[in-house]
Chains A and B, each alone.
Chain A
Amino acid sequence: QKEVEQDPGPLSVPEGAIVSLNCTYSNSAFQYFMWYRQYSRKGPELLMYTYSSGNKEDGRFTAQVDKSSKYISLFIRDSQPSDSATYLCAMSGPGGGSYIPTFGRGTSLIVHP
């Protein structure tokens, strides 16, 4: 079993839809959870960062962590064509070199007008 599982998609939605992107993981030591957005021909950029369980909201984006289920989500409200990108989840633990994130393989999102 891979440490971080993420469906590669593509996920195609109409403009204005609510998008849900998800990752599951197996390592219970993970405490830091991140979502990166990667546009075509660009490097990943950090979108959301959360610590431990709970929700975090930033504009149209909400990150949710459920450590009991080892499941994290990124919700995008009122999706726009400019949100079309690959979204990578990443997570890391508290120490012993495990600060370095483990990445999922990314979900390709297409928002069509």
Chain B
Amino acid sequence: ETGVTQTPRHLVMGMTNKKSLKCEQHLGHNAMYWYKQSAKKPLELMFVYNFKEQTENNSVPSRFSPECPNSSHLFLHLHTLQPEDSALYLCASSQDERDNEQFFGPGTRLTVL
């Protein structure tokens, strides 16, 4: 595998479910990011991890819980989501958080019923 991978690619969940999104980067980067992409809206930064430490939480509701066990893996744990949370969730990585060049995964298309 090369680049940034995300699983699952599609996820449908009810509002009471708990699920997790996984991201893995094979680029040797030290910073990883979660973004939310909704139709016709700019990418919304959610979380930033730099060398496994969370450095940014962009006022994200607590029903989204990130986890970064090492520099190569990033998770987004989902719990009691709302229908308006339906979106494409993108993971990205960069050399470190001072590096502008981000590499994106293909995203997880999330639908909350």
Q: B42 contacts A92, CB within 8 Å?
A: no
Size bin of chain A's contact surface: 20 to 34
A8-B40, A88-B43 known; A49+B100 contact, CB < 8 A: yes
- Residue A105 is within 8 A (CB to CB) of chain B in the complex: yes
Q: B104 contacts A45, CB within 8 Å?
A: yes
Q: B100 contacts A105, CB within 8 Å?
A: no
Query: Closest chain B residue to A102 by CB distance?
Result: B42
| Chain B: interface residue total (CB-CB under 8 A) | 25
Main secondary structure of the interface of A (DSSP, over half): loop
Question: In the docked arrangement, what's the CA distance between A99 and B55, Å?
Answer: 12
- Residue A100 is within 8 A (CB to CB) of chain B in the complex: yes
Question: Of B41, B45, B106, which contacts A43 at CB under 8 A?
Answer: B106
Q: 5 more A-B contacts (CB under 8 A) besides A43-B107, A49-B100?
A: A32-B100, A43-B105, A44-B43, A46-B101, A106-B42
